[in-house]
Structures are given as structure tokens and as C-alpha cells.
Structure 1
Amino acid sequence: MPAFKPLHILVLSAIATIAGTLAPSSALAFSDTQSHWATTCIDQLATQKRVSGYPDGTFRPQATVTRTEFAVLMLNSFGNVEPTRRAPVFRDVPSSFWGYQAIRNAYAREFFSGYPDGTFRPTEAIPRVQAIAILANATRMSSGEPPETVLQRYFDDAQQIPAYARKAIAAGTVGRLVVNYPNVRQLRPNQAMTRGEVAALMCQSIGLPRTVPLGYIAGDRTVFTLPPELGGYDRFSEGLVAFASNGKAGYMNAQGAIVIAPQFDEAWRFSEGLAAVRKGTQWGFIDRTGAFVIPLQFTTRPDDFSDGLAALRTENGLTGFIDKTGAVVIQPQPNYITSFSEGLAAISVNGQSGFIDKTGKILIQPQFEQVRAFSDGLAAVKTRPSPTASALWGYIDRTGAFVLAPKFYDAEPFSEGLAAVRGLDSEGRWGYINRTGGVAIQPQFFAQPEYQGQVATPFSGGIAMVRRGEQAGFIDRTGKSAIATQFVEADRISNGMVRVNVGGTWTRVQTGCTNSDGCSYSSQLQGGKWGYIQVALPESR
């Protein structure tokens, strides 16, 4: 018997990418879902061929889902999870049962467990609490608070949640996985899960925006100005942000309203009034109305415009620059060149970095191991004071002369007169210096050793993102907390908006091994939801 004949819903990919996220389709996929609260979600799953209905054209959203059918769902959705244990022989699952292997595989990946009496109960309708807990664990969500605090805050029937599932349900709630219809405060944990509810859970777990009514999504209703369900996936720039819908990308404003309808295969942030977009295999630039200013013509993605120019990297590794008419103003050359900032762009020649001007002429000779962009008239550069010394970061001016001698373990660009640096104390924590090198904000920011993102960002509007351990928050120019460290991850502030993650989990992941050096690891963010908060910027100083 086919592994999924009874349900017809569970052909799902592991994780939907941003470019594949969905929004309402133009026609209903099934004859019996037009009045169902999850109709948009169901239709979009069907549009992507992630669900199917019955031969009579119905979906039967009120029908229940068995534990075996949900096991198949988990394998189809998260089949890349490695097995961690051997499956036992369940006395009520004979080898002739259609879902025998699926049950064994789901157990081996810790999606499911059996019952104390040695049964699996394969045909039992799965309770809501089990389905939600399984998905919360599979997507590695975390609550950041004691589970009891979360559950009592958001559910009137929290006392009905079994002890074994309380931690997972709390994590799924913070991660905006839980969908409760018709009363968002009623989890109904022991009620059987229906096909419509399964669809809604999947739309939330794989991130299909604008498909589940916001009023039925459990959890905090105040943390986000623009919730994850609206689908933004980049940093706000010039008042707009790219979002994905129905497999296409468009732009919305800070109120969540669609400004440029989804119509592009890829869309990047606006800069100097233009944004790079792709249709098919070609890239061009649009203005804020969505009209093409530079027609589709490039086969590789151009960088954002900066200082009136955009870097264009060819498929064979050459870098050149175009102006806002699309004309080439710096011919492609076999060196890596960054975007321009304050009239200069970093260039890498034979492993050493320097800077060129807007004519392509080298202004600061390549002599540094690494460089950051010019900002506030200075650029952070990494160099070795002597051949035997460790490489350190300092700051140069536009002539290439050091203004602040190399003495930092790491350094970010100056912004608003301050720069984040690491190495002001013996523990290697991050703090902020002023343009004379004086300590403006004492070193106090840090992350776990394998974390590879920014620990302290440049200031924007008097606010900067900083990390303390596994959480991120925001400070003002005096170092005082502007928004407490409460987010799993956060981007830098732009246009008074910032993208933050709640419910995710930092996981140590092996990245490679060699015979001589052993294995290397990094921290990767898994799960959770990204949305936007509006930041009240302090008065300019």
C-alpha cells in the first residue's frame, strides 16, 4: 500500500526557502475549503503541490490525521535529519502494515516515541499537543523563558498540557508555530488534529507568509511591528523591504502594505533609489515605482548602488562598475573589488587589500590583510606590525596613513563618531571607541566562541545592536540599554526598523575535519521566526 494514500497532504519539502514562500492564489484549489479559516494556507500548499485532495475535488479539512500519517509528514518534511537511535518492534505495527517503515524511520529520528505498553497506536488520531510538540522539536525552537511562564501567559487551558510536552509547546508558541482556531487562547491540547490544522501548522513551520490569519497565531502580539507572517526577508532600506509571495518577490513598506507587487524571481534592497531584481536569468534595476530604469541585461547579480556606482562581477570572476544608466565606467578586471563608500572601494590584489578611486586608479596601495569600507573618513584595516607579529586592526585615513595604530583583535567601521572594536580588555570583549581611540563604551559584549556574526554593529540613528552570549539587544550611544537583550539574533537598524529572530536555537555544527587540525565547528541559527520591530530612535546629539 502506498505510504501516503490515506491523507494526500504530506508531500512537503524540508524547509521552504524565502524565494519559494507563498501568498494567496487567484482560485480555490478545493471545493470544500472556500469558507474554511485556513483556506489561503491550504490553497497555497496545493499550488506548490505540497498537498492534494481527494478524487471528488474535496480536501476534507475537518478530517483527522493519524499518527502514522503524521510520521510520513515528518519524514517528507525533515528527511535530512540523521537517525540517532534504533527503532524497537512495536507490537501493534506488523511488518505488513503500510506505514511500518515510516514509523521506524520517524522513531529513529526522535520525531516520535511509542507508548509504555510497547505500542505505537498507528491508526490513532494524533492529538494536537503531539503534533505541535513534534514540529517544535524538529524545527529546534526555544522559548527563552521558563515553559510554565509562557504557557500560563498565552493559554487558558494550559493545565491540560501533558508534562512531557510543556517545554516543546512553550518553544513552539514563542516561535509562532501554534495556531488555535477559533479561540487563540484555547490550545485544546488533547483534541485530535484535523487536516486543516495540519496545513496551518505546516504553513507556519515552513514560513509561508500571508496565509494564516494573524488572529489565530498564538504567542506575543506586541513584540513585532511587522510579524513574520508578512514575509519580509531583508533589511529595510529607503523605507521599503523585499518580501516573497507565491514564488515571486516584491516590496512592502513599514506598515506592511504592498508597494511593488510580487513579480520578480529575486529582489534586493533599494540603494540610491534603485534596486537590483531578477526575472528569469537576467538582472536589471527598478525604481521605487517598480519601473525598470536599467533593463534586464546582466547574467550575474550586480551589487547595490553606492556613490553612484554598482559593482558587477562577471561569471569568470572579473569585477567592473556600472553607473545609473547601466553604462560600464570601470572596466572589468581580475581583482575582487567591493562597493564604493566615500569615493573609495577596497581592491584585493595577490591576497593584499588596498583602495581605488572612482576612476579605477589605486589610491592606497594593496598592503593590508583585510579592510573594511571607509566610513566617517576612516577605514578599519588589518595588518602585521612586523613579520613575526600577530595581525591586528587599526584605522587609516584617505591617504593610507594610520590615525589609530593597529592594536585591536577586530574592528567595525566608524559610524556617528563611534566604532565597535574587540581587544580593549584581556577577555577580548567588544566595546566602542571614539575617533581619538578613547573608550566611549566599556567592553562588555560577547558571543559564544563559534558564533560568526556581528557582536556589536555600527550605530544607526543613535542605536546599535549588541550581543551578550546567545541573545541580542540594542544600546544607545552612552552604552545604556535601548532594547533589552532578548532576541536570538538581530540585524542592524535601518530606517528605524530592525529584523529580529525569536524562538530560534543556536546549534554547534561540525563544518569539517582534517587529519592535522581535527574538526572545526561553528554556531548556526536554526528555527525561530524573523519579524520587524520599530525602534524609537533617540534625539540627535
Structure 2
Amino acid sequence: MPEYFNASNNNTKLDNRSGKKGPEPEDVKIGQIGDRTYAFIGIERVGGIMMYDITKPDAPEFVQYFNERDFSENIKGDVSPEGLTFIPASTSITGLPTLLAAHEVSGTVTAFTFGNSNNSTFSDIQGHWAQTAIEYLASTQIFNGITKNQFYPNAQLTRAQFITVLSRAQGISTTTKAPFSDVKPDDYFAEAIAWAHEHKLVDSTDGKFRPHEPISREEAAVILYNFTKLIEKPLSKHQPKLLFKDDAAISAHTKEAIYSLQQAGILTGDKQQLFEPQSTLSRATIASILYRLFVQSY
């Protein structure tokens, strides 16, 4: 316990408050960081925030306690957190999960940013054109490697894997089940796909999701376009509309998504000005696209 555990919010005297009262849990927020779910509890009076891993709700684990209050004076630093706001990585201007804490007594707001303290990198991306994007997404625990030391940048990404990556960026919050005949409840991606369906990122006309099939460029564009609506990210027109030379090969129902993302500078064609809508996407390409969405397009 901190030295000033039972202090009040306007002085630093030890055990100033009744032992029956103690610190007051003032606000609680839930947030997703990578593939883990956390509860943040603002502690009034003594101040500070407690963080618990509640990925398994029936077995919560204490993670850390952080307090920016300066106890050298009665009221100094951040005193008495009154309200908390969790910002997922997908809507954070830094691209990192962030917790905001508003302090009633000191009148201050503190931002706590969460990410991997190590610059995640992999042996097979050194000098790769997507190295910056891959390392950024790995450090925020949004897009992990296949192994600890290898990312496999040129490997294809499946439909289920793409949805899983997006769910880590936003944080899964759903109580529904995936309504697809080829998604089993015990599949590692089942919750992510249920989340994506609930939030209208994906749909199906035949009751199947095809989770293990490589995702095509136009499929990814539609899902990503729907994702920007979910996170309420406006797509600014940074670039003029560029009609791809293979526009006739692009499915009509995907064109709005593709050209909106193209004008926002998130999707691009190749050097021949082709979009190649049915081509598959590599893990490196997806990392580059998500990096532009989360970081460069703000």
C-alpha cells in the first residue's frame, strides 16, 4: 500500500480519514490494450488509479497502481481523480491506447499512454519497406508477429486474421455470437468476428464467413471503410480522386469504400495505377494501411 493510503484529498496526513472509510473508488472505466481487457479505477482522496487485468472476469489480476500526486505539499500534482475516459488505439491521436484522468481538487487532466515499452521488431523485417509500420503496430500490441522473432511480412492475411487485428485496435465489446456456420464458438477468432458482425463491419449472403480464406483488397477496403464509421473517424479528402485503370474490375458495391480510402490517402494502387481488387494482401501491406489510418492520416 502507498505510504499515504488513508490520506484525504486536501492534506497529506497519514490516516487522516476514518479507517472505516479509506480511499473512495470514484470512477471505473474498461479498456482494451492489445488482446487484454483492463479495468481502471480512479481513487479519490489519496488519489491515483488502480489497474486490473479482467480479461478473465472470474479471475481478475492486479496490474499496477499509479499516482501523479506530489505529497510534498497538501495540494500539488494531480489530486483527486473524479472522471476517467479510455481512448482505444484506433481513435487515439497518437495511435496508442490512452487513459485520461480529470482531477477535481487540483483541476488538472493527465493522459496515461499504454504501449509496449520495448520497440517491437523482428529479424525478418530489417530494412523492409514496411518496417516502421510493423514495429509501430507491434509495439501497440495491435498486430503481432507469427513468432516472437519473426513477423512474416510477405505472408497472406486471412479474413479472420484481419478482423482480429481490427478488434485489437478498437477493443472487443460484445455479448453476441457470430452468426456464421463456419465460425465455431471455440475458434480463437469467434469473438472478434461476432464483434465485427454486431458493428456492421461484415455480413454474408450465404451464412458463411470464410475465415481461413485470404482477404482480397476490395474486401479489406469495405471492412476498413465500415471500421472508420465505427470509430467515428472522418475521411478527409487529402488527395484528388484517382480512377484506377482497372476500375471496371472493381465490384460496384465496393467502389465507395475504395475511393473514399484512396482520397484519404489510406489506400493506394500500384505503379501502373491498378488497384487489383481481387488480389490478396500481405501482412506488410495491411500493416502499412493501418499505420496510415491510425497515424499518418490525422
TM-score after normalising by structure 1: 0.31
CA distance in 2, matches of 1:92, 1:51: 24
The 2-side partners of 1:74 and 1:63 are apart by 18
Secondary structure of the residue aligned to 1:165 is helix
Q: What are the superposed Cα offsets for residues 219-239 of structure 1, whole Å, 9 maximum, x if unpaired?
A: xxxxxxxxxx4xxxxxxxxxx
What is aligned with 2:244?
155
1:200 aligns with 2:288: yes
% identical aligned pairs = 26
Are the structure 2 counterparts of residues 35 and 156 from structure 1 closer, same or farther at C-alpha, using a change threshold of 3 Å?
A: farther
The AA in structure 2 aligned to 1:112 is V
Q: Distance in 2 between matches of 1:31 and 1:187?
A: 30
Aligned counterpart for 1:65 among listed residues 157, 162, 167: 157
| Contiguous gaps of at least 5 residues in structure 1 | 5-11, 22-26, 208-228, 230-528, 531-541
Larger radius of gyration: 1
> By how many angstroms is 1:36 displaced?
2.4
Pair 1:30-2:133 in alignment: no
Residue 35 to residue 109, structure 1, CA distance change in 2 (3 Å): same
Q: Which residue of 2 aligns with 1:176?
A: 265
Aligned residue number for residue 9 of structure 2: none
Q: 2:92 aligns with which of 9, 16, 41?
A: 16
The count of aligned residue pairs is 187
Q: Cα distance 1:72–1:51, how it changes in 2: closer, same or farther (>3 A)?
A: closer
Cα pair distance change 1:43/1:94, threshold 3 Å? closer
* Counterpart AA for 1:119: K
Cα separation, 2, equivalents of 1:65 and 1:79: 20
Code of the residue aligned with 2:131 in structure 1: it is T
Which structure shows the bigger proportion of residues in strand conformation?
Answer: 1
Cα distance change on mapping 1:162 and 1:58 into 2, 3 Å? same
CA deviation vs aligned residue, 1:429-461 (integer Å, no higher than 9, x gap): xxxxxxxxxxxxxxxxxxxxxxxxxxxxxxxxx
Q: What secondary structure is seen at the aligned counterpart in 2 of 1:92? A: coil
In structure 1, give the amino acid aligned to 2:261: G
Q: In the alignment, does 2:196 pair up with 1:106?
A: yes
Alpha-carbon distance in 2 for matches of 1:19, 1:64: 24
In 2, the alpha carbon distance for the partners of 1:47 and 1:29 equals 8
1:78 aligns with 2:170: yes
**Equivalent pair of 2:200/2:226 in contact (CA under 8 Å):** no
Mapping for residues 185-224 of structure 1, pairs under 5 Å: 185-207=273-295
| Cα distance in 2 for residues equivalent to 1:158 and 1:32 | 34
Aligned to 1:206, the other structure's residue is in SS state helix
Which residue of 152, 175, 182 corresponds with 1:92?
Answer: 182
CA contact (8 A) 1:31 1:58 kept: yes
Output the CA distance in 2 between the equivalents of 1:131 and 1:91.
21
Post-superposition shift, 1:203? 0.3
SS in 1 for 2:267: coil
Distance in 1 (CA, whole Å) between partners of 2:139 and 2:191 is 29
Structure 2 runs not aligned, ≥5 long: 1-33, 36-87, 98-118
What's the Cα RMSD here?
3.4
Amino acid at match of 1:201: I
TM-score by length of 2: 0.54
- Tell me by how many angstroms 1:41 deviates: 1.5
Cα distance in 2, alignment partners of residues 137 and 13 from structure 1: 17
Separation of aligned partners in 2, 1:156 and 1:81: 40
Secondary structure of the residue aligned to 1:185 is coil
